[in-house]
Amino acid sequence: DSGVTQTPKHLITATGQRVTLRCSPRSGDLSVYWYQQSLDQGLQFLIQYYNGEERAKGNILERFSAQQFPDLHSELNLSSLELGDSALYFCASSPGGGGPYEQYFGPGTRLTVT
């Protein structure tokens, strides 16, 4: 158990819909990262938050957005869903915004868009 929690574990929804994925980092960790794992793209970084502020952005679509709240949990919002958004979405956390910190991953949310 990494200490990072993600809900829900599975999500099935239809094209055009909007969903919210939730992540709670390990106790004491200030950084949260979101990654997408799909068969065709592999594991890709989406976005990082550090202590409530956006720190880095990767290949995140405009239809996707995220935020980190004062209690440090984070939410990833996916809207106008397409079939190609079906993937495993991971949240990871680390203690700092910089430095040689390992990233510990949550169990993931498997999103299926039908």
Partner 1 sequence: AQKITQTQPGMFVQEKEAVTLDCTYDTSDQSYGLFWYKQPSSGEMIFLIYQGSYDEQNATEGRYSLNFQKARKSANLVISASQLGDSAMYFCAMRGTGFQKLVFGTGTRLLVSP
Could you tell me if 57 and 47 are in contact, meaning their C-beta atoms sit under 8 angstroms apart?
yes
Segment interacting with partner 1 (CB under 8 A) among 17-25, 27-35, 63-71, 74-82 = 27-35
| By the rule CB under 8 A, 26 interacts with partner 1 | no
| By the rule CB under 8 A, 22 interacts with partner 1 | no
In degrees and rounded to multiples of 5, residue 94 shows phi and psi of -150, 160
Element (DSSP H or E) covering residue 107: none
In the list 48, 78, 85, 113, the residue contacting partner 1 (rule: CB under 8 A) is: 48
| By the rule CB under 8 A, 100 interacts with partner 1 | yes
